[in-house]
Homo-oligomer: A and B are copies of this chain.
Amino acid sequence: MNTINIQQKFNKFRSNKLFEMFVIFIIIFSALVIGAKTYDISPATLRFVHFLDWLITFIFLTEIIIRFIGEKHKKNFFKQGWNIFDTLIVIVSLIPIEDSELAIVGRLIRIFRVLRMVSIIPELKMLLNSFLIALPQLAYIVALMFIIFYIYAAVGSTFFAHINPVLWGDIAISMLTLFRVMTFEDWTDVQYETMEVYPFSWIYYLSFIFFTAFAFLNMVIGVVVNVLNEEHEKVLQKNTLPEPTNTELQIEIRELKELIKKSLKNK
**Docked-complex contact A154 and B259, CB < 8 angstroms:** no
A123 at the interface (CB under 8 A from B): yes
What are 24 A-B pairs at a CB distance below 8 A?
A35-B150, A35-B170, A38-B154, A111-B155, A114-B150, A117-B147, A124-B140, A124-B147, A131-B214, A179-B206, A183-B184, A185-B185, A185-B186, A217-B220, A229-B235, A242-B247, A246-B246, A249-B253, A256-B256, A257-B259, A259-B261, A259-B264, A260-B260, A263-B264
How distant is the Cα of A223 from the Cα of B266 in the complex, in angstroms? 63
**Docked-complex contact A256 and B260, CB < 8 angstroms:** yes
A232 at the interface (CB under 8 A from B): yes
Cβ < 8 Å to B, chain A residues 78-125: 104, 107-108, 111-112, 114-115, 117-118, 121, 123-124
Size range of the interface on A?
Answer: 35 or more
Q: Which residues of B contact A260 (CB under 8 A)?
A: 256, 259-260, 263
Known contacts A154-B111, A176-B202, A217-B220, A254 near B252 by CB under 8 Å: yes
A161 at the interface (CB under 8 A from B): yes
A21 at the interface (CB under 8 A from B): no
**Docked-complex contact B183 and A186, CB < 8 angstroms:** no
**Docked-complex contact A231 and B229, CB < 8 angstroms:** yes
How distant is the Cα of A131 from the Cα of B224 in the complex, in angstroms? 17
A31 at the interface (CB under 8 A from B): yes
Known contacts A154-B35, A185-B187, A253-B256, A223 near B227 by CB under 8 Å: no
Contact mask for chain A residues 199-231; partner B; CB cutoff 8 A; 1 contact, 0 none: 000100010010000110110110111011101
Known contacts A185-B188, A249-B250, A252-B253, A31 near B150 by CB under 8 Å: yes
Which residue of chain B lies nearest to A130 when distances are taken between CB atoms in the complex?
B218
A144 at the interface (CB under 8 A from B): yes
**Docked-complex contact B249 and A154, CB < 8 angstroms:** no
How distant is the Cα of A214 from the Cα of B209 in the complex, in angstroms? 19
